[in-house]
Amino acid sequence: MYSEKVMDHFRNPRNVGAIEDADGVGKVGNPVCGDIMELTIKVEDGVITDARFRTFGCGAAIATSSMVTELVKGKTVEEALSISNRAVAEALGGLPPIKMHCSALAEQALQSAIQDYMGRQKGSPGETKESGSGETEEQD
């Protein structure tokens, strides 16, 4: 049912925990399945240098959280914004269709952490680029 990579990231998750002085924090949950993810990131000169996660959920949720932290390290914030749930699933060698929501949750946690980081850069933790400015920026 699961690829070897999924099982490896479930049994030996990478980057577990939280960054104490994180530059961005993303918390998301799926009320249907009960999975909850928290992703913290450290950013230096626009590059994500560290990412950690804490996840309460199934094996696929843990594996996708682990993989997204691996994928994001060393990427610029802009590059990290383009990491999709499909990219997470593909990096794990695929997920069963019924578990694709886990990769979507990992993507959402990353997006949330980046939005938090961007808001802090503007002086308001948790505020997105668009909120509060009266203007809307289009994102790809």
What is the helix (H) or strand (E) element at residue 90, kind and residue range? helix 85-91
The answer, yes or no, to whether residue 130 has pLDDT greater than 90, is: no
- Catalytic residue among 48, 63, 83, 102, which? 102
Local structure of residue 108 (DSSP, 8 states): H
Tell whether 140 is covered by a domain.
no
Is residue 138 in a domain? no
Query: Looking at the domain assignment, is residue 18 inside a domain?
Result: yes
How many domains are there within the chain? Answer: 1
CATH number at residue 97: 3.90.1010.10
Catalytic residue among 7, 16, 33, 104: 33
Radius of gyration of the chain from its Cα atoms, rounded to whole angstroms: 15
Question: Which H or E run includes 133?
Answer: none
At 11-66, the pLDDT tens digits run 999 999 999 999 999 999 987 788 999 999 999 999 999 999 999 999 999 999 99
Split at pLDDT 50, 70, 90, the class of 123 is: confident
pTM assigned to the model: 0.85
Counting Cα atoms < 13 Å in the Cβ hemisphere of 43 gives: 24
Strands 36-44 and 24-29: antiparallel
**Pick from 95, 89, 54, 96: which is nearest to 71 by CA?**
89
> Does residue 135 lie in a domain region?
no
**pLDDT given at position 30:** 81
In a domain, 130, yes or no: no
Structural domain boundaries enclosing 88: 4-121
Q: What's the confidence (pLDDT) of residue 66?
A: 98
Identify whether 136 is part of a domain: no
Is there a domain that residue 129 lies in?
no
Q: Is 33 a catalytic residue?
A: yes
Q: Can you give the pLDDT at residue 31? A: 77
Instruction: Pull the structure tokens for residue 32.
Output: 């249907």
Instruction: Give one DSSP letter per residue of 59-78, joined into a string.
Output: HHHHHHHHHHHHHHTT-BHH
> Is residue 124 very low, low, confident or very high in pLDDT (cuts 50, 70, 90)?
low
70 touches 86 (CB < 8 A)? no
Flag whether 133 is in a domain. Answer: no
